[in-house]
């Protein structure tokens, strides 16, 4: 890591707003992969954000944006982390138009606060990423984070209609708008979604919102054989029943979830959670269809959680990591994306590759989306094997057109293994884009792919 350039090159107006980190313990809580920052600057407006970015870029001071801090572990270790840009003060709802099903809000606003405002009009933003109690809109969109109900509602790219973004040259630019359809110019919202704050700061977003479903339910069943749970998921995926979510939990995660829910669970059983959402008579019928499917696939139905209890179930699942006993040096969470037809094989591979009991592996399968979340709770017990098995798993996934991304990993692992996995020739295009938007690479430099 390079030496920090001196802050005194920044204009006085900005310099005076930089807060030093008061003590070493707070430095640690703000650190990215154990690095920096040397100070924090909190902004109160998007205009101020743009002015700060311009000054920082001019002085070649690297900037790490932060909303609620739920995703600071994402990405490769930064090349430098001079200043943290605290966006949590930008938390306004700027325009809510329930009749148009659109809402415009600032990046620092926690998703949960937006949901409360939307619920007063019977609407919601159908994003349910991990840590949704505190995660901010800007962080969710920058990381393209999503949750179980991606299956039916899609991701941020299906919901973001417009953005206002601060660029490092100090300009504020608008992409898209407040209409549900818009082809006036390139769709740069798509470029910024999932760009991990490497191109600019997404200050405001306009979302397409949905009416709250009349009824929702989680139908819970236990399986001795995970392949049976997967088989059931596949039959539902090819029906016209359109489940909202299909989540398979391995025995360890199943134990945690059921304990928090107060549902009995047998130690070696896998769990399937089927999410339903829609009009009430439809959901009643769907639960009936689910019961029939359970008996056909030799599963034991544990419970049907409806309404508030369903919401509780999703909340626990969304915060599952917080219930796990993990060591900071040993916790790894990787996201493995596969074609739907390879999910079963992927589950078997995960077991074969990494199932040394010492590292405490675990698995959650977003079965309808072709996504496996592989957990290692104590990877530091066998660093060498962890690295090699994850590399092998990544190669296997990439050979099938998929990927393996480390969503969370200790520094020792990130130093040996790229978080994202190499891409193809399109990396050249991405680097060029980065170069145009952020020529000196001051924004989250190094945290994205291939040094971007």
Partner 1 sequence: MPFHPRVLRKLSQIVGGEGLLSRSADLQVYEYDASLEKGRPDAVVFPTSREQVIGLVRLAHQEKIPFVARGSGTNLSGGSIPPDGGLVIEFSRMNKILEIDLKNLRATVEPGLYNIELSNALAPYGYYYAPDPASQKVSTFGGNVGENAGGPHCLKYGVTTNHVLGLEVVLSDGEVVQLGGKVADHPGYDLVGVLVGSEGTLGLVTQIVVRIMKLPEAVKTFLAIYDSLEDAGESVSAIIAQGILPATLEMMDKTVIAAVEASLKAGYPLDAEAVLIIELDGLKDSMGRVSDQVIQICRKKGAREIKVAQTTEEREALWAGRRGAFGAIARVAPNYLVTDGTVPRNRLPEVLRKVAEIGEKYHLPIGNVLHAGDGNLHPLILFDERNPEEKQRVLQAGLEILEACAKVGGTISGEHGIGLEKIAAMPLVCGEDDLKALQYVKETFDPSHLSNPRKVLPLKDRLESGGAIQHEGKPPFS
Q: Which of residues 377-396 bind partner 1 (CB under 8 A)?
A: none
Q: In the chain, how many H helices and how many E strands?
A: 16, 19
Work out which of 185, 262, 308, 328 binds partner 1, going by CB under 8 A.
Answer: 185
Work out which of 6, 11, 154, 358 binds partner 1, going by CB under 8 A.
Answer: 154
Residue 336 gets which letter from DSSP? E
Work out which of 58, 133, 285, 309 binds partner 1, going by CB under 8 A.
Answer: 285
- At closest approach, how far in Å is the CB of 155 from partner 1? 9
Around Cβ 413, how many Cβ atoms within 10 Å? 22
Around Cβ 147, how many Cβ atoms within 10 Å? 22
Site for partner 1 in 208-227 (CB under 8 A): 210-212, 214
In sign, the C-alpha dihedral spanning 195, 414, 422, 78 is positive
Residue 341 tokens, joined? 């037809």
> Does 252 interact with partner 1 (rule: CB under 8 A)?
no
Site for partner 1 in 307-336 (CB under 8 A): 335
> Does 184 interact with partner 1 (rule: CB under 8 A)?
yes
> Does 117 interact with partner 1 (rule: CB under 8 A)?
no
CA dist., res. 339 & res. 346, Å (int): 10
Around Cβ 237, how many Cβ atoms within 10 Å? 16
Site for partner 1 in 188-207 (CB under 8 A): 188-191, 193-195
Site for partner 1 in 430-449 (CB under 8 A): 430-437, 439-441, 445-446, 448-449
Answer whether the bond into residue 283 is a cis peptide, omega within 30°.
Answer: no
- At closest approach, how far in Å is the CB of 187 from partner 1? 5
Indicate the burial class of 301 (C-beta count within 10 angstroms; 0-12, 13-18, 19 or more).
Answer: middle
> Does 93 interact with partner 1 (rule: CB under 8 A)?
no
Please work out the total of residues on this chain that contact partner 1, with binding judged by CB under 8 A.
96
> Does 345 interact with partner 1 (rule: CB under 8 A)?
no
SS3 65: strand
Residue 412 tokens, joined? 């020792």
Site for partner 1 in 6-65 (CB under 8 A): none
Q: Of 7, 28, 110, give the one whose Cα is nearest residue 72.
A: 28
> Does 115 interact with partner 1 (rule: CB under 8 A)?
no
SS3 425: coil
> Does 130 interact with partner 1 (rule: CB under 8 A)?
no
Answer whether 118's CB lies under 8 Å from 135's CB: no
Q: Which is nearer to partner 1, 265 or 349 (CB)?
A: 349
Q: Which is nearer to partner 1, 157 or 392 (CB)?
A: 157
Work out which of 177, 315, 388, 391 binds partner 1, going by CB under 8 A.
Answer: 177
CA dist., res. 299 & res. 379, Å (int): 32
Taking contact as CB under 8 A, which single stretch among the options 221-229, 260-268, 272-280, 314-322 is the one that binds partner 1?
A: 272-280
CA dist., res. 118 & res. 112, Å (int): 10
- Sort strands 160-166 and 201-208 into parallel, antiparallel or unpaired: antiparallel
> Does 96 interact with partner 1 (rule: CB under 8 A)?
no
Taking contact as CB under 8 A, which single stretch among the options 16-24, 157-165, 292-300, 382-390 is the one that binds partner 1?
A: 157-165
CA dist., res. 326 & res. 332, Å (int): 9
Positions of E strands within 250-297: 270-278
> Does 425 interact with partner 1 (rule: CB under 8 A)?
yes
- At closest approach, how far in Å is the CB of 171 from partner 1? 4
Q: Which is nearer to partner 1, 9 or 284 (CB)?
A: 284
Work out which of 116, 225, 281, 415 binds partner 1, going by CB under 8 A.
Answer: 281
């Amino acid at each position: 890591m390079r030496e920090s350039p001196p802050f005194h090159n920044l204009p006085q107006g900005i310099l005076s707003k930089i807060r030093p980190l008061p003590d070493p313990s707070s430095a640690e809580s703000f650190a990215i992969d154990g690095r920096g920052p040397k100070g924090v600057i909190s902004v109160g407006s998007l205009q101020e954000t743009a002015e700060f970015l311009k000054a920082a870029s001019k002085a070649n001071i690297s900037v790490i944006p932060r909303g609620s801090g739920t995703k600071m572990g994402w990405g490769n270790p930064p090349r430098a982390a001079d200043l943290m840009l605290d966006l949590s003060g930008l938390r306004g709802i700027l325009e809510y138009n329930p009749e148009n099903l659109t809402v415009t809000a600032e990046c620092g606003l926690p998703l949960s606060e937006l949901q409360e405002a939307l619920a007063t009009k019977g609407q919601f933003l159908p994003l349910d990423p991990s840590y949704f109690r505190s995660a901010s809109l800007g962080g969710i969109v920058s990381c393209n984070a999503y949750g179980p109900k991606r299956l039916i509602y899609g991701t941020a790219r299906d919901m973001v209609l417009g953005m206002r973004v601060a660029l490092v040259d100090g300009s504020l630019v608008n992409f898209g708008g407040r209409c549900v359809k818009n082809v006036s110019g390139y769709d740069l919202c798509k470029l910024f979604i999932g760009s991990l704050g490497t191109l600019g700061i997404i200050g405001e977003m306009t979302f397409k919102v949905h009416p709250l479903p009349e009824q929702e339910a989680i139908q819970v069943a236990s399986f001795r054989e995970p392949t049976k749970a997967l088989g059931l998921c596949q039959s539902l995926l090819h029906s016209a029943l359109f489940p909202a979510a299909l989540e398979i939990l391995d025995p360890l995660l199943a134990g945690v979830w059921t304990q928090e829910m107060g549902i009995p669970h047998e130690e070696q059983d896998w769990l399937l959670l089927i999410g339903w959402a829609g009009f009430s008579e439809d959901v009643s019928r769907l639960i009936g269809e689910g019961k029939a499917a359970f008996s056909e696939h030799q599963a034991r139905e544990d419970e049907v959680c409806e309404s508030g209890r369903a919401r509780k179930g999703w909340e626990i699942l969304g915060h599952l990591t917080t219930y796990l006993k993990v060591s900071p040096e040993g916790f790894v969470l990787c996201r493995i994306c596969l074609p739907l037809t390879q999910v079963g094989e992927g589950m078997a591979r995960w077991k074969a590759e990494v199932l040394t009991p010492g590292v405490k592996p675990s698995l959650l399968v977003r079965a309808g989306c072709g996504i496996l979340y592989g957990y290692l709770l104590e990877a530091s017990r066998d660093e060498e094997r962890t690295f090699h098995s994850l590399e092998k798993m990544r190669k296997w996934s990439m050979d099938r057109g998929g990927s393996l991304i480390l969503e969370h990993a200790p520094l020792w692992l990130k130093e040996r293994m790229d978080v994202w996995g190499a891409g193809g020739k399109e990396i050249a295009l991405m680097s060029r884009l980065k170069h145009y938007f952020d020529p000196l690479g001051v924004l989250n430099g190094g945290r994205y792919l291939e040094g971007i």
